[in-house]
Structures are given as structure tokens and as C-alpha cells.
Structure 1
Amino acid sequence: MATDADANIETETLPIDLLLIGLLGFWHLGVAQGYFEQSPAGVFLGLGAVLVAPGYALVALLFPRGSSESGGLFDNREGRISTGERLLLAVGSSVCIVPLLGLGLILGSLGATTGSYQLSIGVTTVLLTFAATIRRLQVPPDVRFSPLRWVTTVRSIAVLKPAGGVPALRILLVLGLLVSGTGIGYAAMSADRGERFTEFALVTESANGEPIASEYPSQIPLGSSRTVQVTIGNHEGQDLNYTVVVIAQRIENGSVLATARIDRFRNRVAAGDTLKRSHEMSPTLVGDDVRVSYLLYRNEAPVGANPRPENVYRRTHIWVNVTSG
């Protein structure tokens, strides 16, 4: 017949704390993908997902063993740590992990945007939680760490009595903070502030010769042309080659009935510069409300597929009536 101790061991087999940390990691992934809206509760969840979750999962992976039932503090064998030390290392490890993830995005040229940053934190938390769960379940139940035993070890949070090997852990934490601070400083000095992007627009000239984003040509006879100015502003942090493809499309009830390529040109724009190029627009499709699209590609336009608004890096367009007269 099962005893109360056996029932407690079976209950503690479920890693409740890691389950909550994993759910927090998946919530962070959902935030990165835009599935959850901002809310007051989301602010607190976000703080936990950044300042606690990744570090807690890492500490759980490194220290799967739990506390002794007698003293409330972990003994000094087999690298055990106290509950207070576990929480302290969780926060400290998160402070180290999160900036290093951002530095990795910058050095890997993956784009350190808010979405990618949140995605990397969520993925790291989920993977560490999965690995920590597997390792904890490999530890015998009688020495396995369980959050259900925290009630008997609450006083270890206030009294961080050093356990065996703790000095080495504190040294490791300090070194991690130094590495993290160095990474933040390097990122601040080497990376441009703000999001990297390319500005792409069509402008015309006003009566006094000033460029304006209005007064576009509304009617063009077939065989004639009108002049517009293409503006490409490179804010990507590096010199880039851009290809612009100009197409005309006859559209009816939202469906594209015909497409014709008008022109194609290529320019190199230095980092931080803005290219202004005049272009003679001459549509070859007759009809009302012909959409003339300017499609911008980084480097070359796709070869295997025809350039179209769905596969571009940036695009802009105007509507014109093309007459046959």
C-alpha cells in the first residue's frame, strides 16, 4: 500500500516550476509573433520572461538536485545550492543571457529588431527548460529539486549560508556579469542606433521646383511619358546595390488582368546616402486606373519569378489613366 511519502514523491515528479517557465517562454514567443496585445499583466509577464525565465531554466539545468529536508539549506555535496542561491543565480544568469542574445543577433547580421530579440529570448527559454526537465527527471526522486519543498526552505532566501562550492558559483556569476557588460558596451559602440531600413518613395516637382509627394500625373496618352523622381535612402548601415523594376498592371475588381514591364534600372547607394533619380514613366497598357508600380530589390531582382509586388523588398505605386489617343 502506498504511503504518504510515496504520494509526495509522485506529486513532486511533475516539474511544476519548469512547466510555468516553459509556458512563460511560449508566451514570449507569442508576443514576438504578435499574437498577444499589450496589457498591464503583460508588462509583469514580460519582466519575468526577460529577468527570470531564461536564467532559471539554465540554473535548473545545471543544478537538478533539491534541498535536504532537515536543514532547509542544500548540503555541500554534489554541487547543491540553496533556494536563495538558486533564485539569485536565476536573476543573475538572465542578466547575462539576455544581452548576449542581442549581441549575437547583431554580430550574426540577423537584425536586432524588437521582434527578433523577443523571439531569441523565447526560443532560448523553451530549449533550456526542455533540457532542464529531462535532466531533472533523471535524478532520483528523493534528492530531486521540487518547488513544493520551498516552504521548508524559505528562510534560506534571507540567510544565504554558503554551501560547498558556492564561492566558485559567485565567481562565475561575477564573471558572467562582466562578460554581459562588455557585450552591451561593444554593441552600443559598434552598432547603429535605431532600426535599419531603406527609404523608398516617388516624388514630383511643384511649381517652384520643390520635390513633393503629390500632384502625380493622372493621365498619360499611350506612347507619351511623364517624369517622376525615384528616391532611395540607404539606412541599412552598409553600402548596397538596389534594383528597381517598373511595371504597369490593369486591375479590375481587385484582380490583375494584365501586367507589362516598363523599365528596369540598378544603382549603388552608399550607407547613409540618398539617391534621387529622375525617371520617364511611359505605361504600355491602355485603360482607366492603371497601376504603375515601382518595385525595389536589394541586389538583383528575382530571376526565377517575375518581379511583382508580392516578392519585393520595398514598393510604391501611383494610379494613372492611359488613353489610346
Structure 2
Amino acid sequence: MSDGTLRLLLPRFLRRFPADLAAIILLVLATGVATLAPIVSETPLRVVLGLVFALFAPGYAFIAALFPERGPSVQEASTTDSEAGERSIANPNEAEQEAATDAGLTERADPRREGSIDGIERVALSFGLSIAITPLIGLVLNFTPFGIRLVPIVLSIGGFTLLASAIAALRRQELPAEERFRVPYRAWAGTARAELFAPETRLDAVLNVVLVVSLLLAVSSVGYAVLVPKSGESFSELYLLTENESGALVADDYPQNFTVGQSKPVVVGIGNNEHEQVDYSVIAELQRVSIQNNSTTVRESRTLDRFNRTIPANESANWTHDVTPTLTGERLRLTYLLYRGSPPGNPTVENAYRETHLWVNVSSR
């Protein structure tokens, strides 16, 4: 199947775009799917596409919009330099005329080409500008109601990249066909094929093998790092919060004085940083304790409630627990015990995975 036939398989609006800009648009769309789709977002594809999306695509589209014309290639530049040297030897007057042109005394033959950049400069500037543009977009989002969150960041960077790509395509269309920048895919493929499969010397063949092995090792290393990331520290959080007058959850102003049979709310929260989905069990107890010589003894305990929560990896869950005391007394301990999986038959602070508590007073009326 020829390249022209493959191009016809693309949507019409992509066929009108230059090939490099069409690839950028497809990258933006693929990153959006890999980042936001429920199943695909959990695969390493999200990381791979996300890095290219954030560190290359916006800068490349911006450079393409600034410089729609093609720059002189290395071969053209070397040919021009050699021809200039030959003219300086054959005819000194022509060399003087060319020097005057370079000094700006006469009009250049092709000012648009002289003001453009070549492929290597485009790639370098694409990375540099992307590293500058992406944080700037994040800074702007920080001062908006959306904040620096995944969906606003993906939409903002993607929108900027699509807008810059559209401007770049329009600017290229305004130029003559021979002046438009094009990525020389076929020339690169032909050169690579010739270098790999038809080396001129035995040394070139050895260097080609070393290059291929090095690339395979590099790709394998990156793939392993993406597919088998370091898990880091694994832990779970158990915390108590209250709701203030504005409706926000805060770690302050906990209820301290209760009456038997009357309920007061406390927000219980679990943070799962175990790098895997976990089934949690929480037991709420009201305990009468005595403390002697830094040793705490539970003299009486009443179970107030039990909860089961399944929390995905690296996520949190909060819920409101209406505390209804069944014991009376001063300085009772309202204790929450957290377990991974089912709790033991005799749950205590000592065998709990995590524990948190409040000191409360409960009166009979």
C-alpha cells in the first residue's frame, strides 16, 4: 500500500494538514484518550504519550506557527559555501558582489529562506519552548477556578497545541509550495536504509550494529522503567475531620461533649497509598480507659459501628459517621480502628493497622 493510499485513510481535515502537524494533532487526541479513558489511563501508554505531549508537542506547534517556511538543509548550505568559494577563486568581482550582499548592501535573492530555521533547530527549540510553555499554562490555571488538575491541564495544553497547529497550517498554505516546510520522511528513511543495509566499509557496518544494539538497550531500559516502576513507600492513612460553617472539611473543632442517645457527626477518612486496591474495615468504639505510668488499660468498651470500604490505589474516601454514645463518663476515648481486610475477633489498638481517637465527655442528659 502506497503512502498516498495510506493518507486517504485519514479524516479529511487531517489530510489537508501537513504530515508533521497531522501527527501532532493525532498525538493530542491519543494523549487525551490515554489520560482520561477509564481503562487506558491505567496503562504505561499514558506515561509515554504524556511525556511527548507535555515536553515536545506544544513547542513544536508553536515553532511551526512562527516559522512556516523551510530552511536551508545541510546539503544546500554546504553546496552554497563550496560554490561561493569556487566563484571567489574564478572571479574575484563576483566574490566582492556576494560579500556586499551578505553585508546588506544589495537585496537578497530569497529573504524568506534566510530567515528560517532547519530541522535540528526546530527539534531543539520544540523541547525548549515546551518546557517553558507547559509551566506557564499551569501557572495560569493556578489562578482560575479550575486549578492545576489533570483534566484542565490536558485540555489547556491540548487546546494550545491544536490552535498553534491550525495557525501553522494556515501560514504554510499562504506560501508557495516549494517554500513550505516539510519533514523529509522519505529522504530520512532512504538514508537510514542505505546506512544500515548497504554500508560503504566494514567499520560502518560494525558501527551500525553498535548503534542498533544501543538503541534497543535504551528503549528496553525506558520500557522497563515505565512498566515496572518503583512502588515507593506503601502506607494507609486514617483521619478524622469536621465540617465548618462554609462546608469545608477541617481537622479542627471536634465534638467533645455528648449526651447518651444523641448523635453528633464526625467525618472519617481513609487514604490508600498502598499502590493497589485495598478492602478496609473500620471499627468505631467508645472506651473507658485508665492511664497509669504511661500504660493505657481499657476497662470497658462498646462497639458503636463497623464500616467496610474498598478504595482504589492512590485514592481517598471520606464519609460521615453519626456518633451515638452508649456509655457515660468523663474523658472517654472515641477510637477508630483500621484493618486491611477483615478485623480479628477481638479488635484492639495493639492489633489494628491504624488507629485514631478523640477524647469526649458523655452525660446522661
Normalized against structure 2, the TM-score is what? 0.40
How high is the TM-score relative to the length of structure 1?
A: 0.44
Larger radius of gyration: 2
Name the structure where helix makes up a greater proportion of residues: 2
